[in-house]
Structure 1
């Protein structure tokens, strides 16, 4: 595999991941912003640096996504009472009822849909688990 092939594969994996994400905040949000929203829902009262570490997105993207989500009313922020310099974010409890359904959605179906031959699904899922264990920032923190 060369660098270009890896970039193309990465883009394909991002599309598959985006299709497997819950429709958090509605389908009009880009998958990368939905990813930040899902992380916030799963980890309320997180700081921007904590979200950055878990998602692997650049801090600038996380900050821009949060600003967009605050503007749309999907999340709210406040100062951390223990450290007023730190901002915490959480899903807005007043967000449109039922709009945000967070589940731990497996990627199996999305990966199967992307494969020309689903008999390879177990092998591909195992390979993704291996890659995640070694390269996913949230797994490296453990």
Structure 2
């Protein structure tokens, strides 16, 4: 497999995961907001500066994304007790519960619509499980 095919496969897997985890009426996030939210989930109680360093986004972009995510109730921002100038960001409990529910959804229906032969759809799911075990 060459890099171009791997890139196309990655994009297709992202599309399929969006079909599984998305639902009508979901909030839409910009790619930057999604990256910041993912970082906050992986690194609770991070400062804006720490998020900036890990994501590579400029600090003003991280601050603006956190502000929008906070306004939507997806994150909570608190003042660092050790340094009142620093803001600590964590995922809101309700948002984490909603993300966990969506992440637990089964992929079989989406794979079944994509790969219409039931035996090949099962094989595709098995291969995805094996790939996840190897790479994650």
TM-score (norm 1): 0.58
User: Which of the two has greater helix per residue?
Assistant: 2
Pairing of 1:1-142 with structure 2 (within 5 A)? 1-23=1-23, 26-29=26-29, 46-48=44-46, 59-60=55-56, 63=62, 66-79=66-79, 87-91=88-92, 101-102=98-99, 103=101, 104-136=104-136
Please tell me whether Structure 1 or Structure 2 has the larger radius of gyration of its CA atoms.
Answer: 2
Alpha-carbon separation, structure 1, partners of 2:125 and 2:17: 13
Displacement, 1:15? 0.1
Query: How many pairs does the alignment contain?
Result: 122
Unaligned runs of 5+ in 1: 50-57, 137-142
Aligned-residue RMSD, C-alpha: 4.2
Contact 2:20 2:110 in 1 (8 A): yes
Alpha-carbon separation, structure 1, partners of 2:127 and 2:17: 15
Unaligned runs of 5+ in 2: 48-53
TM-score (norm 2): 0.60
